[in-house]
Structures are given as C-alpha cells and as structure tokens.
C-alpha cells in the first residue's frame, strides 16, 4: 500500500557455518628403549563460525507524504504532516491531523467554543476553556452535583420541619413553663436580697439597678461594717487594759 516503486536491493545476512577443526592432543607412549616418551596425535571435531552472505531484497519507494513504519520494507502506512499536529492531534493523512475533542483546524490549533451553541447543558453560565468548558452560576446560586445545574444558596424549606419542631400549642406550653421558672428564680433572688435592702434601702447613684450590682454593693457595705466592728472591739479592749487611776 502507498508504494510507488519497488527497488531491488540486497542486504547482508549473518549465519552460522560448520567446519572441521583439527585438534592436537598430547599423550604418553613407550619408546624403543622402554622409556616413556611424550608425543602428539591429531583428532578432528566439528566447529561453528559466523559467516556472511548477500541476500536479495526488494525495497519500497513510498509515495509522497508516506513513509515506512516499523522497519517494514514493503509497507508505507505512516502518514507525514509537514506541520506537526498540536494539542494531542495525530497525523492520519498527508498534511491532515485528527484532532481530539475540543480542538479543530488543519493542525488542531483552534479551540472549539463549546459555549457558542446550546449543547453545553449549563443551567446559567458557560465559560469556555482551552479544549473544554465549565459551567458557572450567578450570584446567590451554586453548582449542583452534576456540575451543570444551579441551585439556590439558601437551604430549601423542608415540608416536615414544622411537624418535627412541634405543634404551636406545645411550643406555647414550653414558653409558659420557662417564664414561670424565671419568675420563681426572681422571687428567690428578691428574698435573698431583702436583708441587704433593709441594711441599705437606697443605693448610691453609681450602683446599677440590676440585682447583681446591688448585691455586690451590699456585700461591700457588709465588709465595711465588719471592719468597723472589729476596730470598735479593738478599742474597747485597749480601754479595759489602760484604765486611768481614779481621783481621790
């Protein structure tokens, strides 16, 4: 195929050639004076050597745009592209490239704009890339699992979410129970703070109106009262030990 001329040629081929090789082997024998003598005898064995010969062979002259592939002498099945194929393309005919998906042109040099048509399947936006494309979404949306459709960013309301949370009557009962517990705690706090209010009915202006601030201020006043009591007791003890003599 695609051979324009067959030229007779010859090639050199190597082969193994057998031949008879003489081998001289020494041995001992008895001489005429009954002494041992050393001599040689000749034996022959088959040996092999490498030889060369010319073999006729017909070489193919490929047509323009084709060349031999895999060293085959009579096959010109490899196309030639004078400009190399780009972006993963392969030469399938002289001067013509087969392009992978996403590329086109004589040498696969032009990117296919998949976003120009409607076959991309993107839900909102289509962004063309080199040899391919990708889908995108507008603000407030994100890509779905198929990387084409767009879904809102906010979670969709579940139909059974209200029933899972409870009925309105149950929610009201729970809120009323919480309010009752808060009121009971406030009453207990007022009972605890009552003695301090009796000690200090009016709080200074810099003390907050919340019960915690008033409690803290009352505790500070109690500390001061205890300190003054200790000082008075100390002075009374000194007066007991240091009494002046009575006048006669």
In CATH, what number is assigned to the domain containing residue 148?
2.10.25.10
In this predicted model, what pLDDT tens digit does every residue of 110-147 receive, in sequence order?
999 999 888 889 999 999 999 999 999 999 999 999 99
Predicted confidence at residue 36, as pLDDT, reads 82
Domain count, the chain: 3
The parent domain of residue 96 ranges over: 81-111
Give the global pTM.
0.40
In this predicted model, what pLDDT tens digit does every residue of 28-54 receive, in sequence order?
888 877 788 888 888 888 999 899 988
CA distance 164 to 170: 12
Q: Which of 22, 20, 13 is nearest to 51 (CA)?
A: 13
Predicted confidence at residue 163, as pLDDT, reads 46
Question: Residue 28: inside a domain, yes or no?
Answer: yes
Instruction: Give the rounded percent of residues in the chain with a pLDDT score beyond 70.
Output: 63
Question: Residue 48: inside a domain, yes or no?
Answer: yes
Length of the chain, in residues: 248
State the alpha helices, DSSP H only, in 27-167.
161-165
């Amino acid at each position: 195929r695609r051979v324009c001329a067959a030229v007779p040629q010859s090639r050199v081929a190597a082969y193994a050639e057998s031949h008879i090789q003489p081998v001289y082997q020494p041995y001992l024998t008895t001489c005429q004076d009954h002494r041992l003598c050393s001599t040689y005898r000749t034996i022959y064995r088959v040996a092999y050597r490498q030889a060369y010969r010319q073999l006729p062979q017909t070489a193919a002259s490929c047509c323009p745009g084709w060349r031999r592939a895999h060293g085959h002498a009579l096959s010109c099945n490899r196309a030639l592209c004078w400009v190399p194929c780009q972006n993963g393309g392969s030469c399938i005919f002289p001067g013509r490239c087969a392009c992978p998906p996403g590329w086109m042109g004589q040498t696969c040099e032009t990117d296919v704009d998949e976003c120009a048509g409607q076959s991309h399947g993107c839900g909102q936006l289509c962004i063309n890339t080199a040899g391919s494309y990708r889908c995108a979404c507008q603000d407030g949306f994100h890509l779905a699992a198929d990387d084409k459709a767009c879904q809102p960013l906010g979670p969709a309301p579940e139909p059974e979410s209200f029933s899972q949370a409870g009925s309105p009557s149950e929610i009201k009962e729970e809120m009323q129970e919480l309010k009752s517990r808060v009121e009971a705690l406030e009453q207990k706090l007022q009972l605890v703070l009552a003695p301090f209010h009796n000690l200090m009915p009016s709080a200074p202006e810099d003390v907050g109106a919340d019960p915690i601030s008033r409690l803290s201020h009352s505790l500070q006043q109690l500390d001061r009262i205890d300190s003054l009591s200790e000082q008075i007791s100390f002075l009374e003890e000194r007066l007991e030990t240091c009494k002046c003599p009575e006048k006669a």
